């Protein structure tokens, strides 16, 4: 089975031993832009993590720590970029979604409101 890793999954692997262990077996794939997004996030605003006791803290990495983590990650995955036809197809799909009318708003709590005419 092939596992696709996006940036959020790579960040989870950096802060969670359980997620990192998934990289140790199997076939793993990622796109190259993940490296830049991971670096920007982890050396910038970082991520908030909650430990088993419910304590929350923000995790940042220095540029050197980040580069080390990315080298380790890159050794466990292979990078693929979509073919031009696939990228074009995805671009058309997203454009169609943006052009589609928005879905109807859900009814307010308690059901739809009925307007009563003035008597």
Q: pTM value?
A: 0.68
Question: By 3-state DSSP, what share of the chain in percent is helix, strand and coil, each rounded to 5?
Answer: 50, 15, 35
pLDDT in tens, 65-106: 999 999 999 999 999 987 777 767 767 777 777 787 777 766
pLDDT in tens, 12-62: 999 999 999 999 999 999 999 999 999 999 999 999 999 889 999 999 999
Output the CA torsion sign for 35, 36, 38, 39: positive
Domain positions in the chain are 2-82
Structure confidence at residue 107 (pLDDT): 63
CB 77 within 8 A of CB 28: yes
């Amino acid at each position: 089975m092939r596992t696709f890793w996006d940036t959020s999954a790579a960040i989870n692997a950096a802060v969670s031993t359980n997620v990192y262990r998934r990289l140790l077996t199997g076939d793993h794939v990622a796109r190259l832009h993940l490296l830049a997004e991971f670096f920007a996030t982890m050396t910038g605003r970082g991520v908030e993590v909650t430990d088993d006791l419910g304590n929350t803290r923000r995790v940042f990495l220095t540029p050197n720590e980040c580069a080390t983590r990315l080298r380790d990650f890159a050794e466990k995955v292979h990078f693929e970029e979509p073919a031009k036809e696939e990228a074009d197809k995805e671009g058309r799909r997203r454009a169609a979604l943006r052009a589609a009318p928005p879905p109807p708003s859900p009814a307010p709590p308690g059901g739809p409101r009925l307007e009563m005419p003035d008597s």
